[in-house]
Amino acid sequence: MTKSQIYVLGVSCFYHDSAAALLKDGKIIAAAHEERFTRKRHDEAFPENAVNFCLTFAGIKAEDLTAVAFYDKPFLKFERILTTYVDTWPKGIFSWVPAMREWLIKKLWIKSLIYEKLETYDGSIYFPEHHIAHAASAYLASPFERAAILTMDGVGEWATAAKGLGEGAQIKLTHQIDFPHSLGLLYSAFTYYLGFKVNSAEYKVMGLAPYGKPRYAKKILDNLIDVKTDGSFRLNMNYFTYHYGLTMTGNKFADLFGAPTRPQGFKPTQEEMDVAASIQAVTDEIMVRNAKDLYRTYKTPNLCMAGGVALNCVSNGKILTKTPMKNLFVQPAAGDAGGSVGAALYVYHTIKNEDPPAGRAGLRMKNKDSHWTWETCNLGPEYTNAQIHKLLKKHKVKYQKLTREKLIKETVRLIKDQKVVGWFGGRMEFGPRALGNRSILADARNAENQKRVNLAIKFRESFRPFAPVVLEEKIKEWFEADWTDPYMLTVAQVKKKGIPAVTHVDNSARFQTINRQQNQNYYDVVHEFYMQTKVPVLINTSFNQRGEPIVCTPEDALMCFLRTNMDNLVIGEYILDKQAMPVTLIGKAKKMKFAAD
């Protein structure tokens, strides 16, 4: 390491989806979720494994770091929690004790913990505010020199939403909404009410919504939330319990919708589908109003978004089709995990500044490092063919070893023969989406593959849609979209028939575009499939089963392949056939269990 190199480590943890990210001279070079290493979905623990990976990848030690950044201010968050309990006392008495124990033992002492974990690091630790970290993760990684900024999530310290402007390297957040008024928590309240797991299964509500009609949208707007023209809002807290209790909603919420809270695992009926459609419609409207207000205020067609709500790809698609915003950059790891990136970016730009940072309003610099923008989510560990071969020999697994060209053609042959293929290679993706390095691929032309992959391979609900990967040059031909989306963060209507396995019930799809520069092997598979079938689309879903994080290592991939009904595994330069796998090894793999999400 030379003295001119600046390394900033970003850390997020202790709520859900803990992660670490490392910047070198302002460019993110490594990032990973802790869950991928521990195999505990949404792991909230200090990201010790992710940190170690980042340092190892860079070839540095903790003492080589220029700075460390944490993604929020713990004492400010503690102030909010104490204030809320005082304001709602004695309602929160049952959640008070465990919350205080957690804070006084662990969450208040982040600085000490970081020094303890990093051992040889003795530099500064910075604590930008949560929504500043979200804003920085989006704008400072975007391709824009000027853009509106919108952050929306459950809650940071006090803020649950913020908006403003990014210009040059200046971020200025001018408006915010404070707890307990939160669009993210409103959506989570409905997630809870419908029998899904909070902070884990909100995407299931989004996937369920197209099956229903938003006949409760007016009831939500009349009773639960007051939304202004500019997209700001206030909740009627009489219907919620999350601000003081261990649940999200109570009896009054259930009475409003005429049915009790569903138990986890409840099979949705048309009633649940209509409720899901209603909260999705309200969410869409709020996000659209905010985007329109930002355009009116700043007269820019560029919008950067982050925060958990920014992962709602249905709302993102509405912004692109129903507002003047034409260029949208959503931080691909928009939730708390991406806060590690934002904290590091904010601190990097701040410590380079000759003048002191501008405080709550943001940061100022003479110029933005415009040469770097976010280009890939492939920021995690990578494994060599030698490492993969060693694993296959260890388990005495039969395989075919093929040249790259033959591997591509054989993979396409298998998919055309209606095989479901695990696809493993390159660096693991950062963020919640599998984007071609830890994916399961199948033929989108076969309607049966939607149910087959859901029930027999992913072991998840049959209503869940699958995402298509489409050649970038064919996006306008197959989808009602005049934009590209390499990170699978928007939804558009399907234009052509013939891909029923990725066409949702409302004729929509959450697509991923791919070009050869982004991922050569992945692109070539889709392109070869197109050359043989004239269809430039495949099913792409994450390489994992229900309740399991996306696979990280070759061992993870092999075990997941063995315990599910995938037909083949393409791993590095090797292809495996399920029919040739040792029965005892399959039995061992099937004993591995993961908690339902």
Q: Give the tens place of pLDDT for each residue, 484-497.
A: 999 999 999 999 99
pLDDT per residue over 151-209, tens digit each?
Answer: 999 999 999 999 999 998 889 999 999 999 999 999 999 999 999 999 989 999 999 99
**pLDDT greater than 80 at residue 365:** no
Rg (CA), the chain: 23
Q: Give, as one character, the DSSP assignment of residue 123.
A: S
Q: Are 430 and 474 in contact (CB under 8 A)?
A: no
Asked whether the predicted pLDDT for residue 331 surpasses 50, the reply is yes
Taking only the tens place, the pLDDT of each residue in 238-253 is 999 999 988 999 999 9
- Residue-wise pLDDT tens digits, 521-542: 999 999 999 999 999 999 999 9
pLDDT tens-digit readout, 540-550: 999 999 999 99
The residue type at 74: P
Give this prediction's pTM: 0.94
What are the chain's domains? 7-129+336-361 (3.30.420.40), 142-330 (3.30.420.40), 385-590 (3.90.870.20)
Q: Are strands 146-152 and 302-306 parallel, antiparallel or unpaired?
A: parallel
Q: What is the mean pLDDT of residues 464-489?
A: 96
Q: How high is the mean pLDDT of the chain?
A: 93
Query: 89 versus 502: which is more confidently predicted?
Result: 502
Cα three-residue angle 340-343-344, rounded to 5 degrees: 85
Give CA separation, 448 vs 188, 443, 500, in Å. 31, 10, 9
**pLDDT, mean of residues 400-416:** 98
- Kind plus residue range of the DSSP H or E element containing 120: none
Supply 337's token pair: 């995990």
